[in-house]
Amino acid sequence: MKVDHISISAYLDDFSMITIVVNKPFPIIPSLSLVDDKKVLQPLTIDKQEYYDDLVIYKCRSRIPIDLKNRYWVTFNESRIPLMIGSIVRTAKFDSLYYDDTSLGAIYTPERTTFKVWSPVAFAMKVKYKPRQSDTFLEQKMSRTENGVWQVTLEGDHHLTEYLFVVNVNHEWVETTDPYAKSVTANGIHSVVIHLPETDPEGWNRSEKKINLRSKTDSIIYELHVRDLTIHSDSGVVNKGKYLGLTERGTKTSNGFHTGLDYLKRLGITHVQLLPVADFGSVDETTPDSAYNWGYDPVQFFSPEGSYSTDPYDPICRIKELKTLIHTLQQNGLSVILDVVYNHVYKREESPFEKLVPGYYFRFDEGGKPVNGTGVGNDTASERKMMRKFILDALTYWMSEYKVDGFRFDLMGIHDVETMNLAAEKLKSLNPGVFLLGEGWDLNTNLEPENKATLSSAKKLPSYSFFNDAFRDHVKGSIFPDGQSGFINGNQDARIKSHMKQVMRGYAGQHDTFLKAEQSINYSECHDNHTLFDLLSIRHPFEDEFTRRKRQQLALAFTLFAQGVPFIHAGQECFRTKNGAENSYNLPDSINAFDWKRCESFYKEVDYFKQLIRIRKTQPLFHESSTVLSEWKVPEGGLGFELNLPTTDIKEDASFWTNALLLFNQTTKQIFIPIEEKRWTIAIEGEKVCHRALNEEQYRLKPLSFSLLYSV
């Protein structure tokens, strides 16, 4: 607001502190007062004057604590400036006074629905709603509790009633969707009341409680995007790019090669990790083929994305079809991990969070500007009680309603350790075997380093596994083409070789990153950055493709046989390419689609991948914590490790290996390795499965190859 050529605004920064922001100093310090709706005046005292950028800041104090149920204005020189919500919402007192642990959202029964939304800073609130058979929106005033929860109960059956909240905050009325909405209309225009049993597909058991018994190191995660896996023209799938596309059985290419669900279940993987399926903002759900996105731009955290449904206009359809996908994968022996994004929102200013409680759900710097550690313009503040509650409520909802088996946390390092441990405790009470993993990158957010859920805090977060960038970088080199190369590139730097034992041990131990190897997500490729095939093409431009593929197969062997949890990006097994694109998050299907023709052409390599998985899964020494790993002496350019599993009563079986020898050659020349004859049997050699006894005193390790030997 401008007064006498001075631009002025006023913010409530504490329960008695008001900040006046002007574009130039007052020539004469005015008499400042605070006035409420009842026109009661309170004088304000200027405590200090500060400068920030080109602005002048006056810190003023009120003698009487401010009541957030009222509206206020700051008066000076017969002018009146509306008092806006400032950093008061980020004070410990605010968090303590207004925390509310009751259920929020639209709480449905066939007889009535209660709408509840948290906004302690709202002056008034209404619910605007349109029943199923009506074309007209109605409004109903809501009442406020002491904790700042606004609520109202509407009598009657409101299943499929569309609604919005109309809130008076910062002296204006704004409309917002419900942050707890279980479903929405197309493109999230309106929230929708849902009777959830109506969304259950055939065969769904609402009372079933999922209990996962598989250990983390018995798991093999396969990351995929819902649209990517079936959108290819020769996928043989009817519902291409949809939730239901991944539920179709018997799909094949025109040449008869298995695709989709049948392909996944034949690989031998144990977990499918889905890129975000919660509602996101960058794709128009009514024309889903007009744009593409990975989905890391969340809008509605409790509702599935509509562009993957066959009818985005039907609020039930998106829920039922996602449940069908999850149920189908599980019925085919595959556990389901959801990639969840709680570290930021698509557009902060337009989010229900910011409309309902401005400035609370996000982190800001000392000058009141949003922190941007995520790189997308905003960081959520998981350490605040109601944001923490929101995250825990969302996670428990997805687990209990959709019966998923785990969660992958995008940019988990933005979140705080306490929230993540509370989430683990809650989720494990529902399913002790829930699989939790995340990105532990240390990002520049407004949180003390020791409180960040980063890789350096891994030992404080024993329930979580972390994407292991040290594993990735020492195996394949930096994700940046100009960065340092890795072992598979032929880098014989002593520092690389010295780290390879940690790579094989999963960086676990008293003086290492993790408490146990199960905390290490071992990967050389994921949806981010170049595919490994493309990166090798850039890094080795003068090599033929055959040679580069040999390097990639070396990375695959490290990923599958190092201690920890193997993680595979969909298509890695058939040298997936995105035509050199480094960041394909919004590029078209021509770049992102899983190429079934290419996969079919590399059927031998896919079979090899299956055989490696079978060996890892059937031989306990590759995933038991009691396995002892030691280095095996090999000539320069090679790497060798012996695994030994002490015999126990459980494992006294002729088919179980007590020892395994893993040999890697990073050079383009063969290596001869001294070895004890008649002790070892060759299981893998030259990317082929064989069971041939070794009868020589020297073993010839082929160029750019991996060999696996064993003894029982």
On whether the CB atoms of residues 186 and 312 are closer than 8 A, the answer is yes
Helix (H, G, I), strand (E, B) or coil at 172: strand
* Residue with tokens 């699989």, as numbered in its chain: 435
**And the tokens for 455?**
């890789």
Annotated catalytic residue 439: yes
Regarding beta strands 191-192 and 183-184, do their DSSP bridges make them parallel or antiparallel, or are they unpaired?
Answer: antiparallel
**And the tokens for 688?**
């082929």
Regarding beta strands 149-155 and 335-340, do their DSSP bridges make them parallel or antiparallel, or are they unpaired?
Answer: unpaired
**And the tokens for 621?**
């020494």
**Among 684, 686, 676, 674, which residue's Cα sits nearest to residue 709?**
684
Task: Give me the catalytic one of 439, 534, 595, 687.
Answer: 439
Helix (H, G, I), strand (E, B) or coil at 478: coil
Annotated catalytic residue 13: no
Helix (H) or strand (E) holding 604: helix 603-618
Q: For residue 106, what are the CA distances in angstroms to 113, 159, 167, 280? A: 6, 10, 16, 21
Task: Give me the catalytic one of 305, 405, 410, 624.
Answer: 410
* Residue with tokens 């039907």, as numbered in its chain: 314
**And the tokens for 207?**
């009372």
CA dihedral sign of residues 307, 311, 314, 318? negative
Regarding beta strands 105-108 and 698-701, do their DSSP bridges make them parallel or antiparallel, or are they unpaired?
Answer: unpaired
CA distance linking residue 682 with residue 545, whole number of Å: 27
DSSP E strand stretches across 200-306: 221-224, 271-274, 278-280, 298-304
**And the tokens for 477?**
């080199």
**Among 368, 350, 415, 361, which residue's Cα sits nearest to residue 387?**
361
Q: What is the DSSP string of 140-165?
A: EE-EE-TTSEEEEEEES--TT-EEEE
**And the tokens for 624?**
């038991």
On whether the CB atoms of residues 384 and 99 are closer than 8 A, the answer is no
Regarding beta strands 162-169 and 172-176, do their DSSP bridges make them parallel or antiparallel, or are they unpaired?
Answer: antiparallel
Q: Could you list the active site residues?
A: 410, 439
